Structure 1
Amino acid sequence: MTPPILVIDDDPTFNGILVRTLTRRGLPAIGAVDGDEALRLAREHGVRRAVLDLNLAGMSGLLLIPRLLDIDASMRIVILTGYGSIATAVEAVKRGATQYLTKPVEIEAVLAAFADEMPSEALCTPDETLSVDRLEWEHIQRVLTENDGNISATARALKMHRRTLQRKLAKHPVRA
């Protein structure tokens, strides 16, 4: 029997939809809403593929990547996020993720990531230079990643008030 795909997302609605969508495609899937549950299910079911949300109820999904890989070093992990940045994409791949996709995402892109195929839109690079706002967003994301998602430490490193940083992070990322 094929091991299930593990969907790790703290939004139970999105988690359930993705699990059902994968199952309807003939791929067994199970869902976890936090890191501890994900690790338990990965061990119990011999999971070899996982879809991992970057933000799990305030915890960085990046911290879960090496722990999943400790269970199975060949596990293929696709990161999904609503707040994509270059810094977190690079960090996710450094930690062992197979692919990094931004929401909303088509199921075909997720399946292609598991099949070692790069979606064509992922291969495109922007023709324009990044705006100042986007550069600021990328810098904040890089420093946040360096501080393992700790808002207070990131605010200190950026010499910014913690509330100001929280307001900036609550906004959707700016376009390039």
Structure 2
Amino acid sequence: MNIDTRPPAPAPFEGIDLPSFTLTSSTLTDGAPMPESATARGGSLSPDLTWEGFPEQTASFMLTCFDPDAPVPSGWWHWAILDIPASMTHLDQGAGASDLTLDGPAFHLRGDAGEASYFGAAPPAGDRPHRYIFTVHALDVDTLGLDDDATPAMASFAALEHTIARATLTVTHQA
């Protein structure tokens, strides 16, 4: 299918209405192009992220980065971290490189690039701009009870019944 005629992918949380909170970054601006450093070609340096204003009863967080515009039926998972303690409300730039940079029980899942780390934007050359949706889910449980063999899609399914609020930050990239 010609990329000009391929319909745009739906927003991943369309129809799943939840309270929201704030997700910010000094390296990303919502709605703006992704900085080169956060792309695969630029080194896959994960952005710094800070979140606030989540519900008081939050027990943990799950973070994901998803590209719904990837030319595959399931989109493309670039990053997933589970079991982020409720006391952890910031990730430094580069924290996506390894579990060694994460506090407490938090751990990375293997994304669609095959690594348990952040994988930067890498849309096909000539494709339209892709959206990269960074999402922090506030959860009502300390853990989703998954291990590092889980996929980001499985974790998102498990989080659905435990998500009490959500924060997103969306950037774009075109090769």
TM-score, normalised to structure 2's length?
0.26
Q: Select the structure that is richer in helix.
A: 1
Bigger relative contact order (CA 8 A; separation at least 6): 2
TM-score, normalised to structure 1's length?
0.26
